[in-house]
């Protein structure tokens, strides 16, 4: 059984994420205490809502520094939806507000010529995932592996480096395929040797 710590950002629907990991047989904790997050093995950064609000919430509690340090040490972290975007340098949604800067990319809005937000199912690799987003990362940054999807052009569906995995989609809402994504993140993080720590 894996112990999963979900960060309570105050702007995410954490109930569905909590339930998804419980269905996998995990022990799950929800917290916004930086000390508990710093001591956690598996950390999940979920998010629904506005980039600037999310960053203000993380900084107000000191969780921003804890998250960055966790990733620098190549300890397992999963970012979901806005959680992926918060790991980036910044977002067009909130000009002037710095992100966590772990992913060297800017988040931009989908073109005005297509329907936004993107609500519903979209193909990712060999499956279909549930998305709900108006903003996205346009390409896979250097130093990261990932998968692309398409909505008015290609965009990043997921990114992976070491034990960090970030997805624009909601695996907790993506049925059996999404449950497989969560299980793979846990299993891969257990098997991987620390190799990508950032100085």
Catalytic residue among 81, 88, 147, 151: 81
Catalytic residue among 147, 151, 167, 172: 172
Residue 111 class from Cβ within 10 Å (0-12 exposed, 13-18 middle, 19+ buried)? exposed
Q: Which of 154, 149, 85 is nearest to 121 (CA)?
A: 149
Catalytic residue among 26, 70, 93, 170: 170
Q: Which two tokens stand for residue 62?
A: 């000191």
Q: Which two tokens stand for residue 170?
A: 């909601």
- For residue 119, indicate whether it is catalytic: no
- For residue 196, indicate whether it is catalytic: no
Rounded to 10°, the helix 63-72/51-61 angle is 90
- For residue 53, indicate whether it is catalytic: no
Catalytic amino acids? 81, 170, 172
């Amino acid at each position: 059984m894996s112990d999963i710590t979900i960060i309570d950002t105050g702007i995410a629907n954490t109930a569905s994420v909590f339930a998804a990991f419980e269905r996998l047989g995990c022990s799950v904790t929800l917290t916004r205490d930086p000390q508990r997050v710093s001591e956690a093995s598996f950390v999940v950064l979920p998010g629904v809502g506005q980039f600037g609000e999310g960053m203000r919430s993380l900084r107000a509690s000191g969780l921003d520094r804890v998250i960055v340090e966790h990733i620098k040490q190549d300890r397992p972290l999963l970012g979901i939806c806005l959680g992926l975007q918060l790991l980036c340098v910044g977002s067009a949604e909130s000009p002037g507000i710095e992100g966590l800067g772990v992913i060297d990319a800017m988040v931009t809005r989908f073109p005005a010529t297509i329907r936004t937000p993107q609500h519903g199912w979209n193909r990712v690799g060999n499956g279909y995932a549930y998305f709900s987003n108006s903003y996205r990362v346009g390409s896979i940054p250097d130093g990261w592996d990932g998968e692309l999807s398409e909505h008015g052009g290609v965009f990043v569906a997921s990114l992976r480096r070491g034990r960090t995995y970030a997805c624009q989609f909601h695996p907790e809402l993506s049925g059996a395929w999404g449950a497989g994504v969560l299980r793979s993140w846990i299993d891969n993080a257990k098997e991987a040797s620390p190799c990508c720590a950032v100085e």
